[in-house]
Structure 1
Amino acid sequence: MKTTLDEMQVFVAVVDSGSITAAADSLGQTVSAISRALTRLEEKLEVTLLRRTTRRLELTEEGQVFLTQACKIINAVEDAEEQIQIRRNQPSGLLRVNAASPFMLHVLVPLVRGFRAQYPDIELELNTNDQIIDLLEHRTDIAIRIGALTDSSLHARPLMTNRLRVLASPDYLRERGEPISVDELSAHRLLGFTRPESLNAWPLRNVQGDRYVIAPSVRASSGETLRQLALAGEGIVCLADFMTQVDRQDGKLVQILVQDTVEVLQPVNAVYYRNTALSSRISCFLDYVSAHIGG
C-alpha cells in the first residue's frame, strides 16, 4: 500500500474541517506538516485530490472517490481497535449521531449527561440536519429519521412514535381569534415547512378528506424555527409532540381544532447500514435512548 493511515486521516480531517489550518488545529500538527502530508499523498496516488483556491478547498472527482474509501478504511481501523476494547468490557470509540435539530435538542441532548456517565469511554459527535442525509457521505454511524422509511439498504430500529397536533400560542389566539372549523384556517397566518411538501398536509378532517394542505404565510426548513415562531405568536403550526410537550404543559402553546384532528402517529427510527456489524457503542447508545425516551 502506497499511502499510510496517517495520510488518510490528514486528508479526511482537511475535508471535514474545510481548511488546512483548521485540520492542523484539530490534529495538533503544524500547517506545514499537514500541507506536506497532502502533497505526499497526491504524489503517491499521482492525482489531484483537492483544488486549492484563495478562498476554499474543493474536492476533485478523484478526491471524492478516495474520501469515501479512506473513510471506510479509517472506520475499519477504529472498529478493530474497538473490538479489542470490547474484549475488556469497555465500550469505547467515536459515535457519530445525526438527527433533525428539534429531535436533537428536545430528545437526545437531555440524555447526553446520563449516557456519558454510564459510558465515559464513548466519544459522542452530535450533528443536526433537517433533511435526509447519506450516512456514508456524512460519516454517520446512526441517523434518526422521523416518518416512513424508504431506504431498504439500512437497518432500522424503532425508537418511538409521535402524535401531530395543530397549535397556536395564547397571544396569537387572543389577537386573531381561535378558528372553530378547518375552513377558517385560510383566514389565519399558517406556519409551514419549505420541504418536503408532505409536512404541509395537516392531519385535519375537511371536505377533501383527512389531510388539509396549507398555504404557509411563513416557511422554514426546521421544525424548531417554526416552534419558536409559534411561541412568538406569529401563527398556527402543526408539530410533533416530542418538541412541544413542555410548551403545552406550560400553556405556551394550545392545541386547536381538537375535534377535527386525525390521530397520526409518526414512527421514529434509528437507522444504520445493513452491511455493518452493530458495534457495541451503537448498541449501547440505542439501548440507552430506547430505555429513556418512552413510547
Structure 2
Amino acid sequence: MLTRKTPIPAGPVHRGPGRHRHKALLTPSRTQRGFTLIELMVGITIGLLTIAVAMGALMVSRSVSGTVSDTSGIQQQAAYAMRVIGLQLRQAGSIRLNMNPKSAVAQDLYFAPVGFESIVLASGSVKGFDPTTDTISGTNSPATVTLGYRRFSEPVFSSAAEQTLARNCVGGPDSANADQRLESTFQLTGSDLQCSGNSAAAQSIAQNVAEFQVRYLLQDTVSTPGIPKVTPVDATGVGSNWGRVQAVEVCLVLYGVETINLPAGSNYTDCSGTAVDMSTLTGARARRMHAVFRNVFQMRSQGLSAAM
C-alpha cells in the first residue's frame, strides 16, 4: 500500500502552542582565494619583460630613424654647398656681350655689330673686372677659393630700367651697387663653410664641415698637340698660372649630429686619400657619421695664353 509523503513546509510551522520547527539552512561552503606571492612575482616579471622588449624595439626604431635623418641632412647640406659653389664656378670669367656698342638705332639693332667688354677698370671703391686676375684665385692654408665674373645690367620684363640679375654666393650685391665685378670667396671657418663677396659679411652655407679641399686641374703647356695633359694641383702648384686652370675639384667632408655606435675598424677616406679611424676622433666629431663628397666643375674657356 503506497502512502503519500507530506512535504516539509518551507517556513516554520507551528505545531501547537510552544512548538515549532525551523527549516534546515543548507548553505554551500564558499572560500575566497587570491594570488600567491610566487604567482604575483611571475606576473610582474612577465610584465617587465614585455615592457623591456617594447622599449628595446622603440630605441632601435628611434636609432634607425635618427641615422636616416642624419644621413639625409648631410646629403642635403652637401648638395646645397656644391650647387652654390658650382654656380659661381661655372660663371667665373664670363664677360659682358655688348649688343649695341655703337649705339645703333632701334631698326638697325639686329644688324649692328656686337662686342665683348673684357676689362672694366676699378674706380675708387667700385670693383672692376679683369679676367686675367679676377676670374679665379685661391690659397691652401686656410683653404679658400675666390671667383669673379663681369657684372652688367640688361633689360627685364618687370622693369622699364635695366636691372642686374646676376648675384654672388650670398645673393648680392643689390641693383644700386656700382661694382662691375661679382665676387664670391669660399672658405672654411671652424666647422662652417662660409661665403662672402663684394664686401658683404661672410655667411654660412654648410655646417659640420670637417674638411674643405680645392684642387685645380691645370693644363700642361708641354703636352703633345691635340692631346692636352691636365694635372691636379693645389693653389701653390698653380702659382701664377691661373689662366691655365681648366676645371676645379671640390671635396667636402661632413659629419652628423647623431651619436652612433661605431663597430671596430670604422673609417673613411678623407679628401687627401688618407684612411681616418673614426674611433680616434674627439670633440663634436666623436662617434659621428662622416661622409665625403667630391665634384669636378669645368671652367668656361678663359681665352688666356699659357704665359698668363
TM range (shorter): under 0.3
Higher RCO (CA-CA < 8 Å; seq separation 6+): 1
Q: Which has the higher strand share?
A: 2
Q: Which has the higher helix share?
A: 1
Normalising to structure 2: TM-score of the pair? 0.21
